[in-house]
Structure 1
Amino acid sequence: MRWALLLIATIGVTVPLDRLGVPSAALFAALLVGIVLAVTRLAPSGVPRKAGLAAQGVLGVYIGTMVHSDALTALGPHWPVVVGVGVITLLLSIGAGALLGMHRDVSALTGALALVAGGASGLVAIARELGGDDRVVAVIQYLRVAVITATMPVVVTLVYHADRTSHVASTPQSHSAPWYLSLAMIVVLVVAGALLGRLARLPGSGLLGPMALTIVAELSGWSFGLTVPVLLVSASYMLIGWQAGVAFTRESLRAIERLLPAALGLIVLLNVATAGLGVALSKIAGVSMLDGYLATSPGGIYAVLATAVETGSNVTFIIATQVLRVLLMLFAAPLLARGFVRLAYRRASTDASSEPIAVAEARPAARTSS
């Protein structure tokens, strides 16, 4: 009955959010419903680990299908600049996360994961596995996406004076594989990607392994028109949202409430800083100021692409830049998390002589986080 209530309530919230154009509506709805039911003690005890890993794998394949060779070639000789902008955005995110990590209610690792500017759903999916608090990461990541999505139309209209009259986007029609072939390929990519990721000791292997294999298949022309069914994507989003949502307690909500003002301020600062990067990108790459702003927007990729189509912007360039940013963030964040864990372990080892009892208690926690 608890699972039935969770499913029905989540679908009931997802449908209106989807019609309002909320990005990743199923994940946001699942997170919200999971929190409400957990606080009222009506939620299930937790999401089975295998179901969570399967959801990560499907999401990894879904993100991988966004990478196309024709979009990446649109960057031309400017790809080093675009990569450089992505790296600077990552460093800004880490800096903002470090500031958030100074708050007594959140660790430095959780703060960094919560403010990494890209791949919100992917980071929420693997936050717990990396040693962070997925509840905090989920709330702040979706606060970031909500702020960017809400402010984008205002900025585009008032700052860039974009013409939002209906532009017709000429998107090429690509051949899609039959649903049964796509499902078979998804199963193979998820299982093989997760196994190869574990063998390579890749952090967040359940997400990054299938994603890497899918990108290779896309770029090599061996994807055969692979598409991930919308219902399967929504189901994966729900599982990831539930995983974070049902773990909430009333104490967790109070901690999040204390974090929100600081998180909101850092999100605004991050948006302003990346807008400055957009100006620099427009000057170097020779694109419009609006294209530079949309290409460097630190999140809300679906809202970015919709706005680019509406305003007649350079959609191909913006897609390529945004995809590179998301991939960079998703692959860098787990390595960053591993670095945080090693640093914490070294500090615990250094303090062993002065506080042997505290360190003895801290070391198992450090191993668990890793």
Structure 2
Amino acid sequence: MTLSANVRGYALILAVTVVTSVALAAVHVPSPVLFGGLVGGIVHALTSPVPLTLPPRVFRLSQAMVGVIIGAGISLSSLSAMGNDAVAIIAVTLGTVLISLGAGRILALRPDVTPVTGAFALIAGGASGVVAIARELGADDRVVTVVQYLRVLIVLITMPVVTALVFHPDHGIGSLDTSNPSDLGQSLAYVVLTLALGLLIARLVPITTSILLGPIVVGAILVSTDWFDAVSVPAVLQWLAYAFIGIQVGLRFTRASLASIARMLPVVTLIILGMIVATAAMGSLLAVLTPVDGLTAYLATTPGGLFAVLATAADSGSDVTYVMAVQLVRLLVILCLTPLLARVLSRRAA
């Protein structure tokens, strides 16, 4: 009886995940498969008396796969292109992190949000990575998931408006190179090697985020070599990783938690809009401290939506490499600081 109920439960989750993912992809919602898995897990959690959970090994592999995906997009040459602007970029990055933490602290004024949850729900950058490790850091991953991707969605909506009204750039100057010259065999070899070495590092380094940082470091090193130049993780593997993470989070929802998160969305939206304004000020500061133009600096400090940001930079003739470098620096700083932030915030709360 239990086995049959489990099978029906997984079938329901699979069906809802697929249908929702396709629908969200059609309207260009970011990370549609992660959201689809989230909805699939929520539907089962709210409609079935039979509790389900993913095996810990499956979830851990999914976390590591997110690190593999991020590592494939890190270009060491882009990071080295920062040159003499490194000090200014790091200063602006830390300023953006402080803005995120301030926004998280405001959210944590609500009695149903802890300081750790507030911080990681609104930390600006690496949404998929933060979601993947939120619960292990002591945060409520349900709140973190919803708020993180609401932030990304609002950034994607406001960015073209700000770009057009404030900077008035020409369009069609360039295009983002999304070609992938590597074959499937090379990409699979990259995934296997990065995953194996990354998991080994995660086992040897007793840090919560090592499950992400290990594959990221290995991946970044491999893609900088001649053997694995311009590889990408096959889409099916990306879908599986994001779906499992979304499902795991969705299965932990209850009617009470869903209602609580829905009630906080208006406040969260206002906080996110405030963050966007504050990070735009960081972009203005970067334009003053460095030789880059205002639009490039704005896009480099936009808190989310990396691929849309890069596409906008290419279309408007901005410095895509510079934008990529600043965004990557913030991503790496956030993933490195999250364990320390979790410990500090937990101690303060205690």
Do the two structures share a fold, i.e. TM-score over 0.5? yes
1:169 equivalent to 2:146? Answer no
Distance in 1 separating the partners of 2:61 and 2:283: 36
Q: 2:154 aligns with which of 124, 147, 170?
A: 147
1:53 equivalent to 2:60? Answer yes
Structure 1 match to 2:290? 285
Superposition deviation, residue 323 in structure 1: 1.4
In the superposition, relative to structure 1, how do residues 43 and 321 fare at CA in structure 2: closer, same or farther (>3 Å)? farther
Superposition deviation, residue 226 in structure 1: 3.8
Mapping of residues 180-199 of structure 1, within 5 Å: 180-199=185-204
1:36 equivalent to 2:27? Answer no
Structure 1 match to 2:107? 100
CA offsets per residue over residues 99-128 of structure 1, 9 Å max, x none? Answer: 211210111111111010011111111111
CA offsets per residue over residues 253-272 of structure 1, 9 Å max, x none? Answer: 12112322222221111110
Superposition deviation, residue 325 in structure 1: 1.4
Structure 2 match to 1:329? 334
Distance in 2 separating the partners of 1:106 and 1:300: 25
1:157 equivalent to 2:164? Answer yes
Quick one: which amino acid aligns to residue 320 of structure 2? V
Mapping of residues 1-370 of structure 1, within 5 Å: 1-41=8-48, 45-164=52-171, 166-169=172-175, 171=177, 175-176=181-182, 178-219=183-224, 223=228, 225-344=230-349, 347=350
What SS is found at the alignment partner of 2:134?
Answer: helix
In the superposition, relative to structure 1, how do residues 267 and 170 fare at CA in structure 2: closer, same or farther (>3 Å)? closer
CA offsets per residue over residues 171-228 of structure 1, 9 Å max, x none? Answer: 496642x423432442332233223223221222222221122223334656455421
Superposition deviation, residue 95 in structure 1: 1.4
In the superposition, relative to structure 1, how do residues 97 and 262 fare at CA in structure 2: closer, same or farther (>3 Å)? same
Distance in 1 separating the partners of 2:185 and 2:49: 37
Q: TM-score, normalised by structure 1?
A: 0.86
Segment drifting more, 207-216 vs 87-96? 207-216
Quick one: which amino acid aligns to residue 323 of structure 1? L
Runs of 4+ in structure 1 deviating by more than 6 angstroms, as ranges, are: none
Segment drifting more, 214-223 vs 21-30? 214-223
Q: TM-score, normalised by structure 2?
A: 0.91
In the superposition, relative to structure 1, how do residues 225 and 264 fare at CA in structure 2: closer, same or farther (>3 Å)? closer
Superposition deviation, residue 278 in structure 1: 0.7
Distance in 1 separating the partners of 2:277 and 2:176: 31
Segment drifting more, 15-24 vs 226-235? 15-24
Distance in 2 separating the partners of 1:43 and 1:292: 51
In the superposition, relative to structure 1, how do residues 200 and 170 fare at CA in structure 2: closer, same or farther (>3 Å)? closer
Distance in 1 separating the partners of 2:43 and 2:294: 42
Distance in 2 separating the partners of 1:235 and 1:187: 15
Distance in 2 separating the partners of 1:214 and 1:342: 34
Superposition deviation, residue 339 in structure 1: 2.5
Superposition deviation, residue 168 in structure 1: 3.1
RMSD: 2.1
Gaps of 5+ in 1: 348-370
Structure 2 match to 1:355? none
Segment drifting more, 167-176 vs 236-245? 167-176
Q: How many residues align?
A: 343
